[in-house]
């Protein structure tokens, strides 16, 4: 069973009956700082995009962004936000109801994958599978942008802790990754003080020619 019970989608659907705690009215500042320091390559995939604020912020930078989330209400909200944007920004956005655990099922490769609060929802086995699949969805030289909680809560239905050690063990050069940035950050919430978090920007190395 996942951290969010036997039916995680039902759990997240219930959270979207109200304004979710992570919906802070714009992108997480830690994510925006990562985009400033390591400009993403087009096109971008936003996994677990929620109501679309990160995707929209990248479209406003001129990038084409596909945002996926398995909650219809989240995608409907993202679509509504997109429809109020200038047409030259709105046409860069594509929001879809889809499972983000296997981004390669989209049958496209991306210059950047953005993960604000997705990996930290996954247990270790799901995380292994997601990262193996992420490698297939990124173009050579493409980058994975991550923001996740850096502390463990003892309450149910909350994300897990993502540590620097975990990320260094998962994203090794032997597995075709290069960590460009890894440092403490904060995850803002509507309902609580900022949560200690970790941010990372990790590049997918081009395959070596034999
Ligand atoms: C912590 S929220 C973050 C939302 C958004 N990225 C943000 O930062 O505002 C995690 C999101 O992942 C979505 N999600 C969780 N598991 C998913 C899955 N397997 N496939 C697609 N979306 C998923 C949830 O519905 C929720 O919108």
Cβ atoms 45, 103 nearer than 8 A: yes
Q: What is the CA radius of gyration of the chain?
A: 16
From the CA of 178, how far away is ligand 1's center (Å)? 25
Is the CB of 73 inside a 6 Å radius of any atom of ligand 1? no
Sheet holding 195-204, edge to edge: 93-97, 65-69, 44-47, 110-116, 138-149, 195-204, 177-187
Is the CB of 117 inside a 6 Å radius of any atom of ligand 1? yes
d(CA 210, CA 195): 45
* pLDDT tens, N- to C-terminus, the chain (210 residues): 578 888 999 999 999 999 999 999 999 999 999 999 999 999 999 999 999 999 999 999 999 999 999 999 999 999 999 999 999 999 999 999 999 999 999 999 999 999 999 999 999 999 999 999 999 999 999 999 999 999 999 888 899 999 999 999 999 999 999 999 999 999 999 999 999 999 999 999 988 765
Residue with tokens 């049958």: 107
Give 109's contacts (C-beta < 8 A, 6+ positions apart): 136, 137, 138, 139, 142
In what helix (H) or strand (E) does residue 180 lie, and over which residues does it extend? strand 177-187
117 CA: nearest ligand 1 atom: 1
With the most atoms of ligand 1 within 8 angstroms of its CB, the residue from 21, 118, 149, 186 to mutate is 118
């Amino acid at each position: 069973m996942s951290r969010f019970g036997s039916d995680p989608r039902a759990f997240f659907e219930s959270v979207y009956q109200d304004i979710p705690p992570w919906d802070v009215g714009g992108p997480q500042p830690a994510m925006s700082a990562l985009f400033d320091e390591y400009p993403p390559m087009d096109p971008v995939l936003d996994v677990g995009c929620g109501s679309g604020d990160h995707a929209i912020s990248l479209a406003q930078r001129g990038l084409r962004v596909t945002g996926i989330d398995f909650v219809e209400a989240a995608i409907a909200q993202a679509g509504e936000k997109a429809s109020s944007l200038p047409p030259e920004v709105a046409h860069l956005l594509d929001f879809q109801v889809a499972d983000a655990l296997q981004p390669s099922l989209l049958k496209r490769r991306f210059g950047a994958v953005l993960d604000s609060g997705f990996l930290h929802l996954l247990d270790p086995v799901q995380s292994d599978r997601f990262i193996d699949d992420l490698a297939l969805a990124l173009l050579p030289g493409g980058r994975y942008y991550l923001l996740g909680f850096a502390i463990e809560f003892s309450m149910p239905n909350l994300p897990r802790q993502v540590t620097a050690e975990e990320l260094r063990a998962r994203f090794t050069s032997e597995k075709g990754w290069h960590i460009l940035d890894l440092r403490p950050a904060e995850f803002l919430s509507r309902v609580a003080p900022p949560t200690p978090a970790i941010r990372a920007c990790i590049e997918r190395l081009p395959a070596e020619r034999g």
